[in-house]
Amino acid sequence: MTPILDPEAQRDHAWRNLAHTGLLLGGIGLLLAVSSAMIWGWIGVICTLAAVAILFLTSPRIPPEMVMRLYSAVPVDATRGGQLYDLIQAVSSRAGLERQPQLYVIPSMTLNAFAAGNRDHAAIGITEGLLRRLSLREIAAVLAHEVSHIRNNDLQVMGLADLMSRFTLALSYTGVLLAVLNLFEMMTLGEARVPWVGIALLYLAPTISSLLQLGLSRAREYDADLGSVRLTGDPAGLISALHKLERYTGRFWEDLMFPVPGRRVPQPSVLRSHPSTEDRIARLADLAPTANTPPLVIVERPIVSLVGFGPMSMRPRYRFPGMWY
């Protein structure tokens, strides 16, 4: 097993993760630059990258409270859901966050947890379905995973990647227009002024950018898993949570689907936003319990439903203003 708190191993992992993230972000940015150059030349590259930077730095940030309000989430405090409040307080303190993320419970029987905001102002939403199916030890691992996303600024990194991908998609529409003009010129003049290779690149750029974005997302998920174990000192807790999530989400229906013997064809790893559960568990299983991180003191007590009016009111469906939970 690998002692994950070894200082040299930590530094090595940090540099490799930074390099991986930089390469993927750089690849997305390079695609955007090349797409701009195909249309407007170097002036277009400079203007497009400047526009991305300005929009990223100045675009209004949606308050995390507003995001949680879209899901009808209920805030957790010391008087309501005290165990969860103590848990998020302990994990946030270990993560070194100056401001503790506000924890919300979402009235839904789906199994989900996510973070919104940034290091200075964040919120974490966790569904009632997850609270009912996971032990407090497993919930601690899930919350530590989300806190790691916040500490690592993953939300901002993915936001920048998404912004560049959207610009690339917008430029690809120009590629479609150029293809139409090329066909018109070939029919009327007998030749095309715009190289077909360039048009093909513009057309394929959004797909390539999306694949790089998915790769970036998977890399950040692996890092958040490792961060979760650093904060809890308990890789077995996260492994157990992942096993349960895999068992509860979709496996029953997969057993009823063709082809026999009843497992659907796995989605190619390159098309996933998250690594496969098997890969995540395999990496976590290689980690030794962290001797330098004392385990969280978790005294588990029964939790009465925190939100909603019973399971029927929380069954997954589309809710106003169009959110599925």
Tell me the CA end-to-end span of the chain in Å, nearest whole number. Answer: 39
224 near 142, Cβ under 8 Å? Answer: no
Predicted local distance difference test score (pLDDT) of residue 149: 94
pLDDT tens digits, 287-301: 766 546 677 766 666
Distance CA 227, CA 152 (A): 9
Whether 320 maps to a domain, the answer reads: no
Give me the residues of the chain with pLDDT under 50, please. 1-4, 251-271, 291, 309-312
Predicted local distance difference test score (pLDDT) of residue 199: 78
116 near 159, Cβ under 8 Å? Answer: no
Whether 316 maps to a domain, the answer reads: no
Whether 187 maps to a domain, the answer reads: yes
Whether 314 maps to a domain, the answer reads: no
Whether 258 maps to a domain, the answer reads: no
Distance CA 230, CA 58 (A): 34
Distance CA 188, CA 40 (A): 25
Provide the β-strand partners of residue 2: 287
Distances (CA, A) of 34 to 82, 156, 211: 53, 24, 17
pLDDT tens digits, 248-259: 765 444 444 444
- Degrees to nearest 5, angle at CA 64 with 61 and 65: 125
Distance CA 105, CA 191 (A): 62
Helix (H, G, I), strand (E, B), or coil: what is residue 321? Answer: coil
Distance CA 199, CA 206 (A): 13
pTM over 0.75: yes
Instruction: Residue 118: give the domain boundaries.
Output: 7-251+268-301
Number of domains observed in the structure of the chain? 1
Whether 146 maps to a domain, the answer reads: yes
Candidate list 8, 128, 138, 146, residue with the active-site label: 146
146 is catalytic: yes
pLDDT tens digits, 219-229: 889 889 989 98
Whether 324 maps to a domain, the answer reads: no
Whether 42 maps to a domain, the answer reads: yes
